[in-house]
Amino acid sequence: MFSTFPILYEDESIVAINKPPGIMVHPTKITEDDQFILPLLVAQLQQEVFAIHRIDRGTSGVLLFGKNKTTVRALSKQFQEREVDKMYVAITRGFAPVSETIDYPIAREPHLPKRKAVTHIKTIHTHELPVPIGPYQTARYSIVKAFPQTGRRHQIRRHLTHLRYPVIGDKRYGDNKHTRYWREELGIDRMLLHAKELAFMHPANQQLIRLEAPFGETFQKAFELLNFKG
């Protein structure tokens, strides 16, 4: 299914790819997947690399790796100390607020304590489709930029659902009626969340690196359906 990944940036100590949806970074105890980004990327580059952060299986976009442990430690510290700027783009159900700060603690697992989680959002486009879904005669959607200040598990997805603007295609936290409509009627069967931008200080020279991942064909199709010109 997957063999190689588009390289967004590479030098002697770091490499960034545009992650496709539908693949995890590395194995977990509960997954039954048989392909993972880390071993495939090692084979593609013909050298060892280490994951610095993760994004969900269903999410696409910028994913950063280090080529040595010194670089990984330095960049991991930037993530931990919230010195990395991240921007995601999501398509959500409903007309989301023009701007909002979501300060809502979440737990990694239900039995664990909740931890502070903050996401800033900005709606850049709204559109209404003349189709009845559920009790409503039309279907409203938003294109939202999300800026996570913290890095909790599934943070953006959970925060948008908390506001009642779930991400389209999110089978865990989303709206099943709208996910089904997009899959069966519009031909889009993925979670519409994309890690668009990532900015950090290069640990080797302290230069600002700003990476941007192009949208894939499915996202472009979704934009056209929502009459978004970008």
For 229, the token pair is 């010109």
Mean confidence (pLDDT) of the chain: 94
Q: What is the pLDDT of residues 155-195, one digit of tens each?
A: 999 999 999 999 999 999 999 999 999 999 999 999 999 99
Active site residues: 56
CA atoms in the 13 A half-sphere facing the CB of 21: 18
Amino acid in the structure at residue 158? R
| Listed ranges 1-15, 101-115, 212-226; the one with the highest mean pLDDT | 212-226
Q: What percent of the chain has pLDDT over 90?
A: 89
Q: What is the pLDDT of residues 1-14, one digit of tens each?
A: 777 999 999 999 99
From CA 216, how far away is CA 19, in angstroms rounded?
A: 10
User: Is residue 230 included in any domain, yes or no?
Assistant: no
- Per DSSP, the three-state class of 79 is helix
From CA 105, how far away is CA 117, in angstroms rounded?
A: 5
Q: What is the CATH number of the domain that holds 204?
A: 3.30.2350.10
Q: Are 47 and 65 in contact (CB under 8 A)?
A: no
Q: Which of 123, 114, 117 is nearest to 103 (CA)?
A: 117
CB atoms inside a 10 Å sphere around CB 72? 20
Is 70 exceeded by the pLDDT of residue 29?
no
Place of tokens 């502070």: 116
What residues make up the domain containing 87?
7-225
Is 90 exceeded by the pLDDT of residue 136?
no
In the chain, the number of structural domains is 1
pTM: 0.95
Sequence-distant (≥ 6) Cβ neighbours of residue 209 within 8 angstroms: 9, 14, 199, 200, 201, 202
- pLDDT the model gives residue 111: 85
What is the maximum span of the chain, computed from C-alpha positions, in angstroms?
56
CA angle at 28 for the pair 30 and 21, rounded to the nearest 5°: 100
- Give the burial class of 22: count Cβ atoms within 10 A of its Cβ; 0-12 exposed, 13-18 middle, 19 or more buried: middle
User: Is residue 2 included in any domain, yes or no?
Assistant: no
User: Is residue 78 included in any domain, yes or no?
Assistant: yes
